[in-house]
Structures are given as structure tokens and as C-alpha cells.
Chains A and B, each alone.
Chain A
Amino acid sequence: MASSSTTASGNVPDHDGRFGKFGGRFVPETLMHALDQLTNEYKKAQRDPQFNAELQELFRDFVGRPSPLYFAKRLSEKVGGAQIWLKREDTNHTGAHKINNTLGQTLLAIRMGKTRVICETGAGQHGVATATACARFGLPCVVYMGEEDVRRQAPNVRSIKLLGAEIRPVTSGSRTLRDAINEAMRDWMSSVHNTHYIIGSVVGPHPFPMIVRDYQSVIGLETIQQSREKFGRLPDTVVACVGGGSNAAGMFFPFIDQAKVELVGIEAGGLGSAPGEHASPLSFGKPGVLHGSFSYVMQDVDGQTCDVHSASAGLDYPGVGPEHSYWKDSGRVRYTDCKDSDALAGFYELARTEGILAALETSHAVAGAMEIAREKKRDEIVVVCLSGRGDKDAAEIERLQSLSKK
């Protein structure tokens, strides 16, 4: 394996799906044919003007893109440092960035002649976005969701069902996102001839981390253009939350070659830094294999995946996309973590100063950005990827709040 380079390239992954030494394909032989087919079909689709035109039209008229770049004036004043701008992915149809990827992959599924779609979901946003895309194109859809997440993200569970998709609660392991991915992979092992697996983050075997990053890159590309329009330059710092890392990858990737722009990824710090209390593999984990990819992961000395914790179902994941590991080791992106309690504080601050309910996942980025902005001058600019809206979390936030008062 090649040692990690000191400068991150935008020209990754290579032919084998490697981002430096990270990535690759660590999956059963049964899936290799489908991964090759997906890689080839994706390459063809990228060069197909009709495919791209259809996706752009969906982005504009179905999702409501471009999403606004919004100056959070009152939040910035309250923090008392740099200007905080929000890239409003929460204004997308279905309320999060996830729809960017599911529409792209649904078009790919149709292109490959697949007649059924499966997916995993943690917070439920990817489940809703997949169910939505499948309803839009008339494909049957099965959503795997950990039983614990079915409980804490009930509003999204309802939406998924209303959209005509089937929810399959997963009762194995920690009953969260990681187990939902395991079950979706097992389904795919048996159904690969007619089924496409729309993975929801920049994780999994090649080509998924590349495809999901590319479809999410619309976030960063729009941010660059809107930054030039709104303040005539690029931001000083760009902040996004990282679970698997899809909104962050989509936001950061177009900025990778812009060396002056500082990029900061915020992982879920949970309750503290002890094993099992957080979900921050980039801060506390080691490189290893999980879900078909070589990347930072929380494992014990035998390579068994550790249980992790985050108040937010979408960040409650022991692994992370391989490109983030590559960016971390090259030093291009700085990764830090934000505790459950700080994320909750960020949620309230944004709600009360700007009238925006952010998702719990997103609230980690908001809290991280507030901390960064506080140390900066007033003419500096921090852009936060406001990856999703928080309606789904209202009940869970009430519950967490009442627990913390006890």
C-alpha cells in the first residue's frame, strides 16, 4: 500500500477505488460483479448529456436547488466573531442533503435495468430521500433501519411508510446505522441480480464513496459560486458534520484544491472521549476494515467493531468514509468533535437567533462553527453546511432535555 501523501489530490480515487491507502473493496465475491457494473455504468452516465440534464432538472424543479447561502446575522452577532453563513441544504425537498445522492443513484439504478431498490438509514433522512426518489420513479423500495433509530426518528419512519416504501427494523447488534448497513448488504447478497443498493453516505466499497461524493458535490460547487456572488471571495473556513461523511464530502471536495480555505469536519463527541461514549473514529479510531472499505474505524484489538454513541442517529456510526481518512492523514481537513450537550446548545442557539430548527446531526456542525467563529475577526467568513432540518428530532430533543434536567 502506498504511504499517504502530504497533499490531498482532487484526482481520487484511483482505478482500484483507493483514496491514498484508504478505500478499496472488501466485500464478498458475490457483490463484485454488481460493483463493476455500477462503476462502468456510472462512468458512462457521467459522459451522457441526457443523463446529466435529467438530474439537473430534478435538482432544480424537484429538489428546489440551488439551496440558499444565507447570512446568519443574529447568530453571528451573538457569537461575536466571524460572519457565519449557512448553506441551506435543509431547504431541499425532504429536508436534507440526502436527496442529491438518492436521485442520482435512482437514475443509475434505472439505467442499469434494476427494478428494486434497497437502502439503510440512520436518522431516517436517507430513508425518506430514497423512498421519495423511488416513489418518483415507481420503483419498489425497502429501507433497513436499526430498531433504536426507528424509535428515536419516528417522524421519518412515518414518512417512509407514507411514501410507499417498506421499513424493515433491524434487531441485530447495536440496532443502529451500522447494523442497518449489514442487513442491507445481506439483502443485496441475495438480490443483486435485480436490486440496486443506494448507500446513503460516502462509505462502503468502491465505487460508492466516489459516486455519493460526486452527487453531493453540488453543495460545494454552489457554495463556491454563491460565495463569489454574495461576498466576492471564497470563505475562510468551511464546516460540516461527519458521520459517514456525505454532506461534508460534498461540501469539501470542490474546495480541496483551494488551499487557503480551511476545512473542518465535526464528528460526534457523544458523552466523552472514553471508548463507547462517542462516535469519532477520525479522532479516536485506527485504520481498519468495515463495510467493505479501508478507513478509520472504532475497533478492538481483534478487529471487532466497537459500539459507539451519539445522541444523533445519523452520526451514530463507528466508521467513516475513506476519503475523509485520506483528507485527515494528508492534513487537508481538520477533524474535531462536538459533544451531545454542545450540539444541543447549538441547536437551541440557531433556533432562537435565526428561526431555524437544524437536525441534531447538523447541530454538531453549528456548534463547531460557533466555536471557530468566536476566535475569528468580524471580516472573516465561516460557512456551515446546514445539512438537514430538525423537525424529525423535536421529540428526541425534548426527551434529551428532560433527561439532562434530572
Chain B
Amino acid sequence: MSQILIPILIVGGMGILFGGILGVASKIFAVKVDERVPQILEILPGANCGNCGFAGCSAYANALCAGGVKTNLCPACSGDTSEKIAEILGVKADESEKMVARVRCSGSTENAALKYIYDGPCDCHSAAKLGGGEKLCSFACLGFGSCVKACRFDAISVNDGVAVIDEEKCVGCGGCVKECPKNVIALMPAKSKYAVACQSAEKGKFTRQNCQVGCIGCGICAKNCPKDAITVENNIAVINQEKCVGCGICASKCPRKIIKLYK
């Protein structure tokens, strides 16, 4: 009996003694943790995407409490979050505009012509290294879903060879923009309605050969825009979202139906 009891008593006694010492030490060496940090952490999305420029959400929260950091750096947060953070910190909120990522390509398997059949690993970076991908158009979305894997908010899917972004889920962090080897995805203000779903800088003749829907840079949209918000640069129509009022005339006049209404 004592063979079991003595070890239990001795080791248990050591444990209690050490616990007591540590308890006292923790009082002496107590560090005040800024109580605003956990509050801010609760508001931040917690995806640790790092697009605010800090190592993660908690690093950003710490930097915010230390002061001198803007409250609108989180690209995944809406304007209210910036205000909430400012309220906790007791400072004035910095304006932030919500952005969404949009795919500037409509070259689905039906629309885009192929150069060859790609049979390699299902990864855009690998596909892009083989002659720029299987689609004839060198600006096209490859559709192997590297952006799907990069998205931390589950907002992207690949539909019929082209990435599709769910704008309800997209927070505009820009993770997919960095990942895409073809630079197909771009961030745009979430309130903008119309955008050109193509980025082909080829001359119209070649774009026609490569794809059934690509922008040929004809300029009809630019001529018809009442606000002069559209220009054709490098054979592609570009909508200036600051001037655009969302009337939709360009979309109805476009012979290729490549200017699309979002939302």
C-alpha cells in the first residue's frame, strides 16, 4: 500500500508546491494585456490572409492597439468594421471602399477555341507554363482552379472552364488576384454594376478567331456611353467606374455581349 501511496504523495506534493510557486510568480510577473486586442480580433474575419500588410489578424489587432495604423486596412472587412474598430480604439474611422474580385474572361469551353488538349496536373501555374495554356487566347482564364484553392472564403468555383466568383461571399482580399498566373482576376469597387468580362489585348480579328465572345475593341460602347466613362485601350474596352452611372446602354449595344451586369 505504502509503495503506491508514497510516490503519489511525493510527486503530488511537488506538483502542489511548484503550482503554488508559479501562482505567486504569475502575480508578480503579471503582464497587462491590452483588453481591446481580443475585442478587435472578434470583429476581424480571422482568415489571416495577410493582405492588411501584417502577419495575420492578431498581428493587425496588436498594431491597431499600439496606434498609428489605419483602421481600414483589412480588405475583407466592410466599412462598418472600420467604424467598429475605430469605436473600440476611440479614434476616427478611415473610409474604406468594399472591393470584389471579378473574372475578366468569358472563355468557357463553348466559347474559347483550343490550341491543344492539356492533360497535366490540375493547376493553372503548370498549365500556363505549357505554351501559355490550352486556350488559343493567351489572355484567357485557364480554368484549373488555382484561385479556388487560394480563396480563403470559399467564394470561387470553376464553371465550364472559367472561374466564377460568388460576390456574396467575396470579401475582396485579393488573394486570388495574386495567385492567378494569367492576371485574369481584378479587384473592382463592389458598388460598380457593369464590367467588361474580357481582357484580350489582341486585335479584333484575332480575338474573333480565338473566342466567340471576347471584346474586339470595336468602340461601340465608348461611342454610346452618355457619361464618357468607357475608353478603348489596347483593343479592350475599359470602364471608368468613377464615371459610370450604371445605365446599362453599353451592355445593350455591345455586339459581343461581353459587358456584363453584376449583381
A, B co-complexed: no
